[in-house]
Chains A and B, each alone.
Chain A
Amino acid sequence: MSRLLIEASTALCLLQDAGRFGVRHLGVTQGGALDWVSMSWANWLLGNPLDVPVVEITLGGFTVLAEDYCVLALAGADLGAYIDERAISPGRSFILQKGQRLRFTQPHSGARAYLAAPGGFDAPKVLGSCASVAREALGGLDGFGRALAEGASLVYSGTGTHLRELPVERLPTAASLEVILGAQIGQFSGQSLFDVFNTEWTLDSRADRMGMRLLGTPLQYQGPSLISEGIPLGAIQVPPDGQPIVLLNDRQTIGGYPRLGALTPLSLARMAQCLPGEKVRLAPVMQETAHREHLSYLQRFTNR
């Protein structure tokens, strides 16, 4: 068993896995790593199953002290990480000697870093998952959804010694975020349909694990008001102010705003690395095409 003492943390440093499934009909949200691609690579670097518990560090402000010899892996954003005074870039597994500190300072590129340990960090499974959802008091180290706190310990029991690096090109590099069109798409005005896919959208600072708001030309929905229905991951809903919101892992399970469609999982992983103020474009994609692209991307985890 190896132990890391958390010396600094924020409300945005959370234990996460792939999320909570089979309980959505009870009003329980999905949760899980926002950038599932980077979580998967962090686990891959250690030879772990791709979905065992990792630490999701958003923007930085996280420090751990190794109380034992530790092997860890880092993927996702470059949050200015240091082992003691030596900078370490993401996309590798590495050794943290007993007494050394791993510290995340501030975002250099991307927003979320994923820290993995051999076999995954130990945490109780609550409703089938360790994903931390504070609002629902589910998951995390304590089982009640709280963020990782200073003074707590991260423990893992695996014994991996894999040390490897990721090739540079890891994330899909499509220019636009891909949207699978939903059933209400035809009920937006013609001008709005043009604007959705032909103008830039700016990520608003009003963004959290429930959703990210996109600022741009307001969209006009002309259809009837809707009865609440299930909301999939990545759904782009348009409230009356016309500014779309991309609904993420901690979204509510049902809702009644009209929707343009839903981002693909690969696009969601990319958006999870965007900071407020960044500009994105949207492009339509067929469900079948997106499915094929997704399966093809997953091959990268096995073909190495």
Chain B
Amino acid sequence: MKPRIEVVAIDCLMVRLFEVIAEDNMPWMLAATRRLREGFGAALVDLVPSYTTLMVHYDLLALSPTQARELIDQALTDLQPQAQGSGQCHVLPVWYDLSVGPELALLARRSGLEVNEVIRRHSQHQYQVFALGFAPGFAFMGLVEEQLAAPRLGTPRKRVAPGSVGIAERQTAAYPVESPGGWNLIGRTPAKLFDRERDGYSLVQPGDSVRFEAIGRAEFINLGGDDTPLEAQA
């Protein structure tokens, strides 16, 4: 494991660890994240993980580019993958239903599976959280099995309800807040994904893993979910 270090800005260096997206990347990414946080200490402004890279944003008053490079080199010397299970594992309840997840029908048609089988397959896998982005608390997770993969909608929706769970290619995610969006929607979670009052703010952190659990409408409502159909909210 010899990561590449690339210049990206006056106070940012990119640590490139992998060339392809894979679930096996995560133990290495977690280990590198921990080492870099320790190595930079207070001189670290932000550390942005994404699939195959870690962007190190450091304090340019504390470090020169050369010093920052040296710190990265030191931190990643003899890097060992972090033991599995070191990220948290979350179970996100999801009400899978056509009224809140209209593309369930499309995915069933594309895959040749029954809707119930699409739901079963989506909810049986434990997904890795590769990165957060797009919006606060929006976690890119994968990998979704090939048969359920589907391209983004040709025309993104102007408005996707908070909690909506979707699939794009081999990734899955839940929308923390109302926003535009082009993912294939299959259900809705009542979980509060981003909360400014919560310690750590985001329910799911990079490197965590997530399993979806199918629940019925009654439980969804009990857990505080909003069952207003997508069309009615548009």
Contacts and interface: CB of A to CB of B under 8 A. Distances in A.
B8 to A, nearest CB: 5
Contact of A25 (B6, B132, B196): B132
Interface stretch (A77-85, A179-187, A209-217): A179-187
Interface residues of B, number: 45
B196 to A, nearest CB: 6
Interface string B31-68: 00000000000000111111111110100110011100
Given A23-B201, A229-B52, A136 B133 contact: no
A300 to B, nearest CB: 15
Contact of A27 (B8, B64, B132, B196): B132
A183 B7 contact: yes
A43 to B, nearest CB: 17
A22 interface: yes
Contacts of A161: none
B9 A180 contact: yes
Contacts of B51: 227-229
Contacts of B46: 21-25
Interface residues of A, number: 43
Contact of B132 (A26, A229, A255): A26
Interface in A280-303: 287-288, 290-291, 294-295, 298
Contact of B8 (A183, A290, A291): A183
Contacts of B6: 182-183
A103 to B, nearest CB: 35
B8 A253 contact: no
B7 A137 contact: no
A180 B9 CA distance: 6
A88 interface: no
B12 A254 contact: no
Interface in B127-143: 131-140
B115 interface: no
14 contacts: A21-B46, A23-B136, A26-B137, A27-B202, A28-B201, A135-B179, A180-B10, A183-B14, A227-B51, A229-B55, A252-B134, A259-B8, A291-B11, A291-B60
Interface of A: 21-28, 126-127, 135-138, 180-183, 227-235, 252-255, 259, 261-262, 264-265, 287-288, 290-291, 294-295, 298
Given A233-B9, A234-B9, A298-B61, 9 more contacts: A24-B57, A28-B201, A126-B196, A181-B7, A183-B7, A230-B8, A253-B48, A291-B60, A294-B60
Interface of B: 6-12, 14, 20-21, 45-55, 57, 60-61, 64-66, 131-140, 177, 179, 194, 196, 201-202, 205-206
- A-B pairs with the 10 shortest C-beta distances? A230-B55, A230-B48, A232-B9, A254-B133, A262-B9, A183-B6, A27-B132, A24-B46, A232-B12, A229-B53
